[in-house]
Structure 1
Amino acid sequence: MAKLWAGRFGKETDLEVNDFNSSISFDCRLYKEDITGSMAHAAMLGKQGIIAKEESDKIIEGLKGILADIEAGKIHFSQDYEDIHMNVEQILTERIGDAGKRLHTARSRNDQVALDMRLYVKKEIVAIKKEIIDFMEALCESAKNNLETVMPGYTHLQRAQPVTFGHYMMAYANMMRRDVIRLENCLEGMDDMPLGSGALASTTYPIDRDFVRQQLGFARVTNNSLDGVSDRDYCVELTAALSILMMHLSRFSEEIISWCSWEFKFVELDDAFSTGSSIMPQKKNPDVCELVRGKTGRVYGDLFTLLTMLKGIPLAYNKDMQEDKEAVFDAIDTVKQCLRVLTPMFSTMQILKDNMKKAALKGFINATDCADYLTKKGMPFRDAYKTVGQLVAQCVREDKSLADLTLEEYKTHSDAFENDVYEAIDLKTCVRGRKVIGGPAPEEVTRQILVIEKFVSEHETV
Structure 2
Amino acid sequence: MNLMGKKMLWGGRFSSSPKEKLLKYNSGENAQLDSLLIPYDIQGSIAHVKMLQKQKILSASEAGAILSALKKVLQNYKEGKFTLNPSLEDVHMNVEAEVTRLTPHGKKMHTARSRNDQVILDTRLYMREEIIRIAELLLSLCKSLESLKQRSSPFPAYTHTRIAQPITLSYWSESFQQSFLRDFERLLSLYSRANINPLGACAVAGTGWSIDRAYTAKLLGFEGVQENAHDVSTSRGELEGEMLFVLAEIMIKLSRISEELIFLSQKGLVSLPDEYCTGSSIMPQKKNADFLEIMRARSSRLIGSLTAILSIQKGLISGYNSDSQETKPLLFSSIDIAKGSLEIMADALLSMETDKAAILKELENGYACATELADLLAKKGVPFRSAHEITGEIVKECIKKGIWLLKLDANAISKKAGVKLLQNELSSALSPDKTRETRFKTAPLALSQYEGKIREMKKKINLLWGV
Which bracket does the TM-score occupy, shorter chain normalised?
over 0.9
The residue aligned with 2:71 is 64
Aligned partner of 1:373 among 360, 376, 380: 376
Given the superposition, is the C-alpha separation of residues 285 and 459 from structure 1 closer, same or farther in structure 2, using an over 3 Å criterion? farther
Aligned ranges for residues 16-165 of structure 1 at < 5 Å?
16-22=21-27, 23-96=30-103, 98-144=104-150, 146=151, 148-165=152-169
Give the match's secondary structure for 2:416.
Answer: coil
Residue pair 2:364, 2:405 contacting (<8 A) in 1 also: no
What is the TM-score normalised by the length of structure 2? 0.93
Structure 1 CA distance for aligned equivalents of residues 134 and 414 of structure 2: 59
What's the CA shift for 1:412?
4.2
Aligned partner of 2:429 among 407, 424, 430: 424
Greater displacement, 276-285 / 412-421 = 412-421
Structure 2 CA distance for aligned equivalents of residues 113 and 173 of structure 1: 35
Q: Deviations over 1:168-196 (max 9, x none)?
A: 01111111101111111111123220111
What's the CA shift for 1:357?
2.2
Give the match's secondary structure for 1:393.
Answer: helix
RMSD (Å) for aligned C-alpha atoms: 1.4
What is the TM-score normalised by the length of structure 1? 0.94
Aligned partner of 1:288 among 282, 288, 291: 291
What's the CA shift for 1:3?
0.2
Residue pair 1:292, 1:338 contacting (<8 A) in 2 also: yes
Structure 1 CA distance for aligned equivalents of residues 216 and 13 of structure 2: 31
Greater displacement, 223-232 / 327-336 = 223-232
The residue aligned with 2:241 is 236
Structure 2 CA distance for aligned equivalents of residues 185 and 456 of structure 1: 13
Q: Deviations over 1:311-340 (max 9, x none)?
A: 011121111111111111111111011112
What's the CA shift for 1:455?
4.8
The residue aligned with 1:10 is 15
Residue pair 1:151, 1:359 contacting (<8 A) in 2 also: no
Give unmatched runs, 5+ long, in structure 1: 435-439
Structure 1 CA distance for aligned equivalents of residues 353 and 405 of structure 2: 30
Residue pair 1:391, 1:413 contacting (<8 A) in 2 also: no
Aligned partner of 1:211 among 208, 211, 215: 215
Taking only the aligned residue pairs, the percentage that are identical comes to 34
1:109 is aligned with what amino acid? R
Structure 2 CA distance for aligned equivalents of residues 173 and 325 of structure 1: 30
Structure 2 CA distance for aligned equivalents of residues 459 and 164 of structure 1: 30
What's the CA shift for 1:54?
1.1
What's the CA shift for 1:431?
2.1
What's the CA shift for 1:454?
5.2
Give the match's secondary structure for 1:260.
Answer: helix
Task: Work out whether 1:406 is the aligned partner of 2:409.
Answer: yes
Aligned partner of 2:261 among 256, 260, 268: 256
Q: Deviations over 1:102-123 (max 9, x none)?
A: 1001111111111111111111
Q: Deviations over 1:400-457 (max 9, x none)?
A: 11121234432441342332322332222222332xxxxx2xxx21x2x33x535544
Greater displacement, 82-91 / 356-365 = 356-365
What's the CA shift for 1:363?
1.2
Q: Deviations over 1:67-101 (max 9, x none)?
A: 111111112321111100000111111112x1111
The residue aligned with 1:437 is none
1:8 is aligned with what amino acid? R
Residue pair 1:149, 1:357 contacting (<8 A) in 2 also: no
Structure 1 CA distance for aligned equivalents of residues 273 and 78 of structure 2: 36
The residue aligned with 1:453 is 447
Give the match's secondary structure for 2:249.
Answer: helix
1:379 is aligned with what amino acid? V
Structure 1 CA distance for aligned equivalents of residues 287 and 380 of structure 2: 50
Structure 1 CA distance for aligned equivalents of residues 452 and 394 of structure 2: 50
2:76 is aligned with what amino acid? D
Give the match's secondary structure for 2:100.
Answer: helix
Given the superposition, is the C-alpha separation of residues 362 and 128 from structure 1 closer, same or farther in structure 2, using an over 3 Å criterion? same
Give the match's secondary structure for 1:202.
Answer: coil
The residue aligned with 2:181 is 177
2:198 is aligned with what amino acid? P
Give unmatched runs, 5+ long, in structure 2: 1-5, 459-467
Structure 1 CA distance for aligned equivalents of residues 450 and 59 of structure 2: 48
Aligned residues: 446
What's the CA shift for 1:249?
0.6
Greater displacement, 37-46 / 376-385 = 376-385
What's the CA shift for 1:460?
4.3
1:142 is aligned with what amino acid? L
Structure 2 CA distance for aligned equivalents of residues 49 and 406 of structure 1: 92
